[in-house]
Chain A
Amino acid sequence: MSALTDLSLDEARKGLARKDFSARELTRACLDRIAAATPLNGFITVAAERALAMADAADARLSAGEGGLLEGVPLAVKDLFCTQGVLTTAGSHILDGFVPPYESTVTANLWRAGAVLLGKTNLDEFAMGSSNETSYYGPAVSPWRAAGSEERLVPGGSSGGSAVAVAARLAAGALGTDTGGSIRQPAALTGTVGLKPTYGRCSRWGIVAFASSLDQAGPMTRTVTDAALLLRAMAGHDPKDSTSVNRPVPDYVKALDGGLKGLKVGLPKEYRADGMSPEIEALWARGADWLRAQGAEVREVSLPRTRYALAAYYIIAPAEASSNLARYDGVRFGLRVPGRDPTEMYENTRGEGFGTEVKRRILIGTYALSAGYYDAYYARAQKVRTLIARDFEAAFETVDVLLTPTTPGPAFGIGAKTNDPLTMYLNDVFTVTVNLAGLPGISVPAGLDASGLPLGLQLIGKPFAEDELLRVAARLEEAAGFSARPQEWWTA
């Protein structure tokens, strides 16, 4: 039955509709594979019984000819989405035992479309990290290894577990969230597709907040078509999220058709940062060639404030986080470490409940917002943010999409960068600008580096132009013809 898990989400969906196999069989196959993949540590919670029950319900609907868009399709969900009745941890000790009495809007949309929840995937604590190493539940491990090496590599982060689940064929697709690159970077490092939609395209209601003005949910899949399918089911206006946007959700799958003739593609020259590896530079040039060969017109554009993006991001995101995470105080849910008085209880609970990276960001954010520093840090970072958004607006007056590398390099070893937060933060250098500007971005697997590790290319689109972005991504995907998959070293 293992072949079932090799099916793309779209193939699985079609097979289910044709009754080539049942949702229960497909779900069972995924659960077996998850059980055999414990060394990857991709899941924090596997909801096996519930998954089978959901699959049975899907089978019933399929027999009645009532299936939704994703009827019977088994998915993995980043453990940042609140799932009713299923432990939700955000990768943090402080949410110990938290079982939400409600379902996030995005996941509720998926279940309404017939999808099946396999379990909750590992992530950096509160989505703060680029390697999945800050998880209280230990690092997720990439299914990929460099040629001839047994070193355990990071799958990227923060949606590391979701990337693992998709790359190792543990699920047909997965949900991630992206605040500064948390979907696209792990997708690039694991040879998968990751899409961050326009800010406001998907509801944030029921997603544990990291940085509210940047967080956005998105699909992680093995193909661009699968990403289009998942986004279609996830997206939509939600009156419970004031920042979600009320505009129709296009048929993203239909939008995949069409060539690139006349498409104008921009290559932001500032992304050719000092010290970019020749390998990445070559990959980028190859990507441009692929698009050009299909009739696109490729030109250089300028995004002059790019160099300030990372600094602005690491002010704004921690500032919002420092406030968003104040609610974890041991009073109403999750971990409580007692103290003699409420203040001491807060200190004990938060001291034990949060990990080092989360504490670092709370401190940075608290500092950036404090009296006397607000103007120098937070207010200035917001100005930079506005200017970065204007850079993109100006670029989109002359081009339709932008093409960039997704990351500065391939996956690195677990532990290689944990002692140097600044180097770790540099992983997001090509992705954070997109969050700051609220734009849609997608990472498409584009090739392997010399050691056989995947690399990704990123396409950035205009606001709410996910349809166009997905079409270009589909053409890039075809041209790249990425078919590599990791050796299964993890199964005994």
Chain B
Amino acid sequence: MTTKHHPHETGARLIRGATGDWEIVLGLEVHAQVSSKAKLFSGASTEFGAEPNAQVSFVDAAFPGMLPVINEYCVEQAVRTGIGLKAAINLRSVFDRKNYFYPDLPSGYQISQYKSPIVGEGAVTIDLPDGSTRTVGIERLHLEQDAGKSIHDMHPRYSYVDLNRSGVALMEIVTRPDMRSSEEAAAFIRKLRAILRYLGTCDGNMEEGSMRADVNVSVRRPGAALGTRCEIKNVNSIRFVQQAIEYEARRQVDLIEDGGKVEQETRLFDTKTGTTRTMRSKEEAHDYRYFPDPDLLPLELDAAYVEAIRESLPELPDEKKERFVAEYGLSAYDAGVLAAERETAAFFESVASGRDAKLAANWVTGDFFAALNKAGLDITASPVSAGQLGALIDLISDGTISGRIAKEVFEILFTSGGDPRAIVEERGLRQVTDTGAIEAAVEAIISANPDKVAEYREKPKLMGWFVGQVMKETGGKANPQAVNEILKRKLDG
């Protein structure tokens, strides 16, 4: 396992331009919806999928005289997340107003944290496909309100506004410009999502808008000073993040190589065309007139409160991965795969409990994952439980069935369910360990194939052919080890 602290020195994936190589520099601002039943400053519900404007309090709709009151649970979730990101927790933070006009922003300002966020610097270790890891710096995490939703294309003359999301708590997680390829950005989002899910602070559901990213992209000659960046707003899937980066980096390289200059601006990613386009230029950028919200006191936390949350934190993916290597003797790769999602890790540990952990890991990452993938199912919807898979592994370990038969039983379990042992009994799949029966089969094969026996004397490799014949004869149920031993004795003896 290697950790590269200076990503620009090694491992960067360069893009080739007409005039040479270019390096992509990426930073992310991820908006993660806090898992909370109520909004950040009002008691209104946050449940997804309600009728438009069904979950709007007078505070969310910014009626005159309404005042925000902080939802303490959201604060706790932000602190928990900060600790999970190995970040400094600021015991004093301040809510500010970010002022701008938009129909889905009823108060004309978003309550956010500007100069004094609740969480300071931290770090996330990302796992790359080649098995290496890299550290991405976290600059800050702050709490803020989400806006509502404007829909401009439902009526020729009117805009529609849904305020259900207005006031929902978001954590904005800002990284350092530490990523150098779209793959790294994707790995970061996946890792961040895993951490948030482990912590239970955000469900990470990008389809429902619980997580979305603003992507800052710039290009430069390797090792040169940072180039001018463009911010691509509100990208809502990992695939789109990668597409947007690829397109945008290429656009910037082409622009510069054609003698142009990258202008700092906010851009939108068009999911239909896979391209980015200007949303607003630097000149059109809002002056948000941030100032401390006078309706809210500074948020003061005491150290004991933070420590209590730290104590209550679950084991996170990195620690789990390390433990899987140390405790179960798994490879770093397998451990990483199994620790990536909380549900997967729990499933694996349940299967591995009291069993051969490596065998369990092989089964989970092998046939089990393959079957889920093929069926397009999430592990939480798996038709095979950890208990069933464990029982199946037990049948292998105690010699009741062979690994080959186990694959068959697994197929049956996956499609029809049931108890593995009962399936084995009902279908007569029990491994033949009765040496007498195996010997009879071996003798029958030997006497029926004297030419092969003669050939075997010259080419011991032919043993495989005999094993195949015996297995065929026994319907695959013969214990392979026993078959090998008996054949060897008979042929060599």
Contacts and interface: CB of A to CB of B under 8 A. Distances in A.
Contact of B64 (A90, A213, A366, A378): A90
Contact of A319 (B103, B108, B161, B291): B291
Given A326-B108, A327-B108, A242 B70 contact: yes
Contacts of A332: 61-63, 106
Nearest to A90: B64
Given A212-B295, A342-B103, A326 B109 contact: yes
A287 B143 CA distance: 52
Q: Which of B64, B65, B109, B161 has the most CB of A within 10 A?
A: B64
B67 interface: yes
A246 interface: no
B107 interface: yes
A207 B65 contact: yes
Interface string B293-310: 011110000000000000
Nearest to B288: A371
Interface in B255-291: 287, 289-291
Given A242-B67, A342-B159, A370-B289, A327 B62 contact: yes
B289 to A, nearest CB: 4
A1 interface: no
Nearest to B100: A326
Nearest to B68: A242
Contacts of B287: 370-371
Interface string B59-89: 0011111111110000000000000000000
A331 B161 contact: yes
A81 B65 CA distance: 8
B101 interface: yes
Contacts of B97: 323
Interface string A97-116: 01011101000000000000
Interface in A81-129: 81-82, 88, 90, 95, 98, 100-102, 104
Given A319-B291, A323-B291, A342-B159, A333 B65 contact: no
A95 B64 contact: yes
Contacts of A204: 65, 67
A88 B64 contact: yes
Nearest to A238: B67
Given A346-B101, A369-B99, A323 B106 contact: no
Contacts of A226: none
Contacts of A322: 99, 289
Contacts of A346: 101
A331 B297 contact: no
A211 B295 CA distance: 10
A240 interface: yes
A476 B295 CA distance: 35
B136 to A, nearest CB: 30
A339 to B, nearest CB: 11
Contact of A242 (B106, B159, B297): B297
A54 B102 CA distance: 41
A396 interface: no
B58 interface: yes
A374 interface: yes
A205 interface: yes
A98 to B, nearest CB: 7
A206 B295 contact: no
Contacts of A213: 294
Interface string B143-183: 00000000000000001010000000000000000000000
Contacts of B62: 327, 332
A320 B294 contact: yes
Interface residues of B, number: 30
- Specify which of A101, A329, A343 lies most central, judged by the most chain B CB atoms within 10 Å of its CB: A329
A327 B66 CA distance: 11
A105 B435 CA distance: 89
Contact of A369 (B65, B106, B291): B291
B295 A242 contact: yes
Nearest to B163: A332
A323 B102 CA distance: 13
B101 A326 contact: yes
Contacts of A95: 64
A331 B63 contact: no
B67 A331 contact: no
A298 B75 CA distance: 50
A23 B435 CA distance: 107
Given A242-B296, A242-B297, A243-B295, A329 B64 contact: no
A241 interface: yes
A208 interface: yes
A60 B379 CA distance: 67
A240 B69 contact: yes
Given A102-B58, A326-B109, A331-B161, A366 B289 contact: yes
A100 B63 contact: yes
B64 A100 contact: yes
B279 to A, nearest CB: 16
Contact of A326 (B69, B99, B296): B99
B114 to A, nearest CB: 11
Contacts of A242: 67-70, 295-297
Interface string B333-345: 0000000000000
A157 B58 CA distance: 29
B65 A208 contact: yes
A75 interface: no
A81 B64 CA distance: 9
A209 interface: yes
Nearest to B105: A326
A326 B289 CA distance: 12
In this complex, the member of A90, A213, A331 whose beta carbon has the largest number of chain B beta carbons within 10 angstroms is A331
Contacts of B68: 242
A327 B297 CA distance: 21
B38 to A, nearest CB: 14
B69 A209 contact: no
A209 B294 CA distance: 11
Contacts of A81: 65
Contacts of B159: 342
A354 to B, nearest CB: 13
Contacts of B107: 326-327
- Could you say which of A213, A326, A378 has the most chain B C-beta atoms within 10 Å of its C-beta? A326
16 contacts: A82-B64, A205-B65, A240-B69, A241-B67, A242-B70, A243-B294, A319-B291, A323-B289, A323-B291, A326-B109, A327-B106, A329-B101, A332-B62, A342-B159, A369-B290, A374-B289
Nearest first, the 4 A-B pairs at minimum CB distance are A326-B108, A213-B294, A212-B294, A369-B289
Given A102-B65, A208-B64, A320-B294, 13 more contacts: A100-B64, A101-B58, A204-B65, A204-B67, A205-B66, A207-B65, A209-B64, A212-B295, A319-B291, A322-B99, A326-B108, A327-B106, A342-B102
